[in-house]
Amino acid sequence: MTEENRQIRLELKGIHKSFERGTVNENHVLKGIDLTLYDGDFVTVIGGNGAGKSTLMNTISGQYTPDEGSIKINYEDVTQLPTNKRAKLVSYVFQDTRMGTASRLSIEENMALANRRGLSRGLTKGVKDADRDEMREQLKKLDLGLEDRLTAEVQFLSGGQRQALTLLMATLRRPQVLLLDEHTAALDPKTSEMVLQLTDKIVRDEQLTALMITHNMKDALTLGNRLIMLHQGKIVIDVSGEEKDNLTVEKLINLFKQEAGEELTNDAMLLS
């Protein structure tokens, strides 16, 4: 499908964000970000340590308010909308596998909470029998046997199982935008690969619109239909479709040199 007839899910215009504004320590982190994501875009995000990747996501989720610029989700201006009001629009999965779930609650209690995300009433953790069948069906998709452990406390799951559950929970109530901030970086390589495959499956099956930060070049090149690179608070590379499919690390390095006017050292990319 061409971009013209796809719905716009996320639109950032002229986003600027500084920390410690007006002090000697002022740090201008995002320097004019323009980014439009169309329905079903699965975008991998790369960039060196401190490039502003996490700040960009935090600005989309509402954790940080931009100093300048506007953010629209589904054509609605959310620039001033607080994080809790954005929760039903935006889901966020972090690197820390403990952040997306409540340790002392069971799998089913966590899932019940995820199902009520963004709803103001009924913040009880009770689970109805009728919900359990549905939960088992959802958990089967993970292929980790968690459907037989509904009442197990989440603290007893492995990091990979827990992150897979977090991912499922983050997508149960179809978010308009899914944000993944190095969500497999804390896992061992094999488990990371499992969670990445699961991510790919969920994003494609549900046709979600997603931004995934990774410091793994191979993952950034393999996954998604579009790749952006942040450098010193600006998007310096934005490739999609066939151009992305044909991209190699070498081409990326050349592209960076062409766009940013400097050499890309592997360290700057990989030590994030």
Ligand X SMILES: Nc1ncnc2c1ncn2[C@@H]1O[C@H](COP(=O)(O)OP(=O)(O)O)[C@@H](O)[C@H]1O
Whether the Cβ atoms of residue 212 and residue 43 lie closer than 8 Å to each other: yes
- Find the binder of Mg ion among 54, 97, 184, 199 (CB under 5 A): 54
Among Mg ion, ligand X, none, what does residue 158 contact (CB within 5–8 Å per kind)?
A: none
- Find the binder of ligand X among 9, 35, 43, 53 (CB under 6 A): 53
- Find the binder of ligand X among 44, 54, 101, 176 (CB under 6 A): 54
- Find the binder of ligand X among 3, 26, 49, 137 (CB under 6 A): 49
Determine, following the binding rule CB under 5 A, whether residue 176 of this chain makes contact with Mg ion: no
Among Mg ion, ligand X, none, what does residue 27 contact (CB within 5–8 Å per kind)?
A: ligand X
Q: Cβ closer to Mg ion: 12 or 157?
A: 12
Whole-number Å distance between alpha carbons of 155 and 158: 8
Q: Cβ closer to Mg ion: 53 or 86?
A: 53
Footprint on residues 1-40 left by ligand X (CB under 6 A): 19, 27, 29
- Helix ranges restricted to H, the chain: 53-61, 83-86, 107-115, 129-140, 159-172, 189-205, 217-222, 241-245, 249-260, 266-270
Determine, following the binding rule CB under 6 A, whether residue 55 of this chain makes contact with ligand X: yes
Long-range (24+ apart) CB contacts under 8 A made by 69-72 are 69/12, 69/13, 69/14, 69/15, 69/16, 69/32, 69/33, 70/11, 70/12, 70/13, 70/14, 70/15, 71/10, 71/11, 71/12, 71/13, 71/15, 72/8, 72/10, 72/11, 72/13
Question: CB 154 → ligand X: shortest distance, Å?
Answer: 26
Q: Which stretch binds Mg ion (CB under 5 A): 35-43, 50-58, 228-236, 239-247?
A: 50-58
Which chain residues interact with Mg ion by CB under 5 A? Answer: 53-54
